[in-house]
Amino acid sequence: MPLLCLFHGLRLAEAAGLRVEDVGEEAGVPVLHIRPYEGRTLKTVDARATLPVHPELLRLGFAAFVGVRREAEELLLFPDGAASKGREVGGNLGAWFSRHVRRLELVGTKLGMHSFRHNFEDALREAQLADWSALEKLVQF
């Protein structure tokens, strides 16, 4: 899940709430469907998207991971991402990641799951693609 946030700029809840059925294919390209469903909302209307799966994730075995989850007839791509008592979608995974960062003794401010989104946005600005619509124009289906 952290890799999805890193390579796609997803918010924690967007990545943690992905269902197995949210991973598909369009015109032969593996995609993620970021969409609301019962029990899960998106932060903004613009958060709804269809994103091509980053090639590095495919190289690392993301498709095989999804296949295993699909064969097991699992609902969520990341079962620990479900909302739990007093926490929002992905809350447990976010807390786990923060503990992991502390165990690694990484130094910095606000080193959490949302750091991946900020890193992604910074990279878009640096590449002069800060406008998400400009990025969408690069993706051809």
Residue boundaries of the structural domains of the chain: 2-138
Specify the pTM: 0.67
pLDDT tens-digit readout, 37-83: 666 656 555 555 788 999 999 999 999 999 999 999 998 888 776 65
The whole-number pLDDT of residue 141 equals 33
Report whether pLDDT(24) > 90: yes
The token pair at 126 is: 């640096």
Q: CB under 8 Å, gap of 24 or more: what pairs does 21-29 form?
A: 22/77, 23/53, 23/66, 23/77, 26/50, 26/141, 27/141, 29/53, 29/141
CA-nearest of 128, 136, 123, 138 to 9 is 123
